[in-house]
Chains A and B, each alone.
Chain A
Amino acid sequence: MMSEREICHGCKRGIASAQRELFDRYSPALMAVIYRYVGSDDDASDVMQDTFLKIYTTIHSFVWEGDGSLRAWITRIAVNQSLNFLRRKKRLKATTVPVEALGETTSDSDNDHLAEQVDNIDVSTIMQMVAELPDGYRTVFNLYCLDGYSHQEIAAQLGISEKTSASQLTRAKALLARKIDSYINNKA
């Protein structure tokens, strides 16, 4: 089994076996990341191809900095490709959801309760809940909460203001919390 470093060097030299190993090892995780952003498997498959093509053709610019650096790098590419896809499809407009549909803001005690509920929900359901968020909310939520971007970076990426980004995030979190709560209640 090739190490991450070997995969990296192999891909840099254009070795087919290394390229295949990279694909086999990381494509399921990348598929999940892309699915979180684009919201459907069909679109995720298309973006996935673009992502790996981008990886193979730009890996010369990647500098390996230890285990995990390659994965972080290709995840970033997957995110960028997903955003490009959404941008091409003009699905990055700020989303507006009626306030009443968002429910109440969560308190600290609610947070703890929600955390327990999240632990009891399987990953695919969580992924589906995220995917069902409106495009704008989902994008900001993914970028901020799951992939660690700041509002400044999100604003620059999406061409919106930081305030809009923060607002979208608040609404996304509220909507998702409500979905989780609803799911747990229905399950019970």
Chain B
Amino acid sequence: MSNDINNNSNWIDALKHKTEQATRPVPQGTWEAISNKLPSEHPVAYKQQPRLRPMWWKAMAAAAAIAIAATTGFIFIQEEENLSQPSQLTKKVEKRPMIASATPADSLAADSTRATATPPKPALAPGAALAKNNTPSAPKATTTAAPKPSTTSKGSKPTNAAPATTGRDSYDNGNLAQEQQFDPDEYFYDIETMQALEELYADYDNVMNQEAMEPWKTYSDTTYQQHLAYDANARKVAREKMALSKKKKHPSVLLAAHGTGLISSDHNSTVNSSSASMMLPKPSQGMMMAPAAPGTTSNVAPPVNYKYHHHMPLTAGITFNKRITRNLYGSLGLNFTSMSSDVTPDNGAEPFKQNINLIGLPFGVKWNFWKYRGLTTFIGAEGLMEKVVWAKFNGESVTIKRLQWSIHATAGIQYNFTQHLGIYLAPKLSHYITTMPLSTLRSEHPLNFNLQLGLSLDF
């Protein structure tokens, strides 16, 4: 400024002196208008450190890349594992032990009547025993009529050389495709026949389970026990198919499922292993049936209880916060959660793993209610929509199409090192609304409390 200001005359100096002290009332609402227009919560402090500015973009890009790479990589690794391994069914067949003895009737019954994968019949097979006792409960079951070629050959196959194993394996290897193409119209019985068959299978399962409880009686290894767990899954598939056909075609004659499947929210989940709701070929297709064996019961076998040990879920994700007003942020993100559990059947079978992986879309709001220097306290509410990308129970894939919904409330404290980067600590209360058909930590504790520690990138 020039010194010509000194040229002001006296009255100008007096006027200047007066105006320097002048004030005018500020219209109401001016501050609110200003504070709402402020573009950034930390508008200034960190711009004094320009050398750090490029790091924000690098940090954000690195975080996003790591999150995406980790998620994608994890999914691919799991899928590769699935592809590289032979199917569980094949493994089961290969591991199936030889059965000491079985009659042709055993094989017939096993091959023809078991539409789902079942364990090999032991020496005390229901078919053999039942054949000796002609009770009137299953009159149609004893007929043999002109069958379809495939069924006929299966039903009449001599099985003495390698009785049960041959029959079961031939079924497993050759007829699973037919099982997948199950047509309820071809498996229509009257109610009496179905009841007879149900008793037959109940007896069969009873024997199987008794032997499973005392494996040393029949087998020297644990393969048989593994079949039981596997069988539960296979039966579940059959039950679902039966239920479907029941709805569509023959609601009065098709048997319903006994088992509860794998759905349970208890720590010890129960699977009823004595389902009789199998896909049943018509007698005219070559099935040979026999009534209930004397000395055996028709009661369902004791259920198998599973004990779960849930590991801590691992979640990786990235969330972006967008300022809505001065202290209110909207957030949107992407995360990946992996949950694993050790499952131990109480029937002596070997423990196995349960893995569930989900991709989630968190969305919510965060309100900063107090700030001092770089320190901010906040509360927030969040919704989370998750999709199960894959899930496995004992090596078997489980399809869960239902979206998993949850709500979360959080209150935390954040310290910003810079304008955009901060570290936060936030206790979080979560409620998982949607239940999954597999037992998880979430299903056992739908309402849980956790502590989050993380980095925050705010822009």
Which of A's residues lie within 8 Å of B, judged by CB? 11-17, 19-20, 23-24, 27-29, 31-32, 35-36, 41, 44-45, 48-49, 52-53, 56-60, 106, 108, 111-115, 117-119, 121, 123-124, 126-127, 130, 144-146, 148-153, 173, 176-177, 180
Could you show 8 A-B contacts with beta carbons less than 8 Å apart? A13-B374, A28-B26, A60-B43, A123-B21, A127-B19, A127-B24, A146-B16, A176-B15
Q: Closest Cβ of chain B: how far from A9's Cβ, in Å? A: 9
Residues in chain B near residue A118, CB distance under 8 A: 11, 14-15, 18
Q: A14-B44, A44-B24, A112-B10 are in contact. Are A148 and B19 (CB under 8 A)?
A: no
Contact of B18 among A31, A56, A123, A151 (CB under 8 A): A123
Could you tell me if B31 and A126 are in contact, using CB atoms closer than 8 angstroms? Answer: no
Residues in chain B near residue A130, CB distance under 8 A: 19
Could you tell me if A13 and B11 are in contact, using CB atoms closer than 8 angstroms? Answer: no
One digit per residue, 1 when the CB lies within 8 angstroms of any chain A CB and 0 when it does not, for chain B 32-54 equals 01110111111111011000000
Residues in chain A near residue B12, CB distance under 8 A: 145, 173
Could you tell me if A49 and B37 are in contact, using CB atoms closer than 8 angstroms? Answer: yes
Could you tell me if A13 and B44 are in contact, using CB atoms closer than 8 angstroms? Answer: yes
Q: Closest Cβ of chain B: how far from A164's Cβ, in Å? A: 15
Q: Closest Cβ of chain B: how far from A21's Cβ, in Å? A: 11
Could you tell me if B1 and A148 are in contact, using CB atoms closer than 8 angstroms? Answer: yes
B25 within 8 A of A: yes
Q: Closest Cβ of chain B: how far from A141's Cβ, in Å? A: 9
Q: A29-B22, A118-B15 are in contact. Are A53 and B37 (CB under 8 A)?
A: yes
A180 to B12, CA, bound (A): 12
B23 within 8 A of A: yes
Residues in chain A near residue B1, CB distance under 8 A: 148-150, 153
Could you tell me if B45 and A60 are in contact, using CB atoms closer than 8 angstroms? Answer: yes
Q: Closest Cβ of chain B: how far from A174's Cβ, in Å? A: 12
Q: Closest Cβ of chain B: how far from A129's Cβ, in Å? A: 9
Could you tell me if B44 and A57 are in contact, using CB atoms closer than 8 angstroms? Answer: yes
B216 within 8 A of A: no
A31 to B24, CA, bound (A): 6
Q: A49-B37, A114-B11 are in contact. Are A13 and B4 (CB under 8 A)?
A: no
Could you tell me if B11 and A177 are in contact, using CB atoms closer than 8 angstroms? Answer: yes
Could you tell me if B19 and A28 are in contact, using CB atoms closer than 8 angstroms? Answer: no
Q: A28-B25, A60-B48, A150-B1 are in contact. Are A119 and B14 (CB under 8 A)?
A: yes
Could you tell me if B373 and A15 are in contact, using CB atoms closer than 8 angstroms? Answer: yes
Which A residue's beta carbon lies closest to that of B4? Answer: A150
A32 to B23, CA, bound (A): 5
Q: Which of B100-128 contact A (CB under 8 A)?
A: none
Could you tell me if A27 and B30 are in contact, using CB atoms closer than 8 angstroms? Answer: yes
A19 to B41, CA, bound (A): 11
Q: A111-B9, A152-B2 are in contact. Are A13 and B22 (CB under 8 A)?
A: no
A109 to B44, CA, bound (A): 52
Q: Closest Cβ of chain B: how far from A56's Cβ, in Å? A: 6
Q: Is the interface of A mostly helix, strand, loop or mixed?
A: helix
Could you tell me if A14 and B40 are in contact, using CB atoms closer than 8 angstroms? Answer: yes
Q: Closest Cβ of chain B: how far from A38's Cβ, in Å? A: 12
A145 to B18, CA, bound (A): 12
Which A residue's beta carbon lies closest to that of B374? Answer: A13
Residues in chain B near residue A117, CB distance under 8 A: 11
Could you tell me if A150 and B372 are in contact, using CB atoms closer than 8 angstroms? Answer: no
Which A residue's beta carbon lies closest to that of B27? Answer: A45
B252 within 8 A of A: no
A69 to B454, CA, bound (A): 40
Could you tell me if B14 and A115 are in contact, using CB atoms closer than 8 angstroms? Answer: yes
Residues in chain A near residue B5, CB distance under 8 A: 144-145, 148, 150
Which B residue's beta carbon lies closest to that of A144? Answer: B5
Contact of B8 among A49, A113, A145, A180 (CB under 8 A): A145
Residue from the set B11, B34, B40 with the largest chain A CB neighbour count within 10 Å: B11
Q: A41-B27, A49-B30, A118-B14 are in contact. Are A15 and B9 (CB under 8 A)?
A: no
Q: Closest Cβ of chain A: how far from B414's Cβ, in Å? A: 13
Q: Closest Cβ of chain A: how far from B430's Cβ, in Å? A: 30
Residues in chain B near residue A32, CB distance under 8 A: 19, 22-24
Q: Closest Cβ of chain A: how far from B311's Cβ, in Å? A: 42
A108 to B8, CA, bound (A): 11
Q: A49-B34, A52-B34, A60-B48 are in contact. Are A14 and B23 (CB under 8 A)?
A: no
Q: Closest Cβ of chain A: how far from B325's Cβ, in Å? A: 12
Given contacts A12-B48, A53-B34, A146-B15, 6 further A-B contacts (CB under 8 A): A20-B35, A23-B31, A44-B24, A56-B44, A121-B18, A151-B4
Residues in chain B near residue A180, CB distance under 8 A: 11
Residues in chain B near residue A111, CB distance under 8 A: 9-11
Could you tell me if A11 and B26 are in contact, using CB atoms closer than 8 angstroms? Answer: no
Residue from the set B8, B10, B15, B42 with the largest chain A CB neighbour count within 10 Å: B15
One digit per residue, 1 when the CB lies within 8 angstroms of any chain A CB and 0 when it does not, for chain B 173-184 equals 000000000000
B371 within 8 A of A: yes
A152 to B1, CA, bound (A): 9
Residues in chain A near residue B44, CB distance under 8 A: 11-14, 56-60
B13 within 8 A of A: yes
Residues in chain B near residue A53, CB distance under 8 A: 34, 37-39
Residues in chain A near residue B27, CB distance under 8 A: 41, 45
A111 to B5, CA, bound (A): 16
Could you tell me if B2 and A56 are in contact, using CB atoms closer than 8 angstroms? Answer: no
Q: Closest Cβ of chain A: how far from B441's Cβ, in Å? A: 40
Q: A13-B45, A111-B10 are in contact. Are A56 and B26 (CB under 8 A)?
A: no
Residues in chain A near residue B21, CB distance under 8 A: 123
Residues in chain A near residue B8, CB distance under 8 A: 145
Could you tell me if A151 and B23 are in contact, using CB atoms closer than 8 angstroms? Answer: no
Residues in chain B near residue A60, CB distance under 8 A: 43-45, 47-48
Q: Closest Cβ of chain B: how far from A63's Cβ, in Å? A: 10
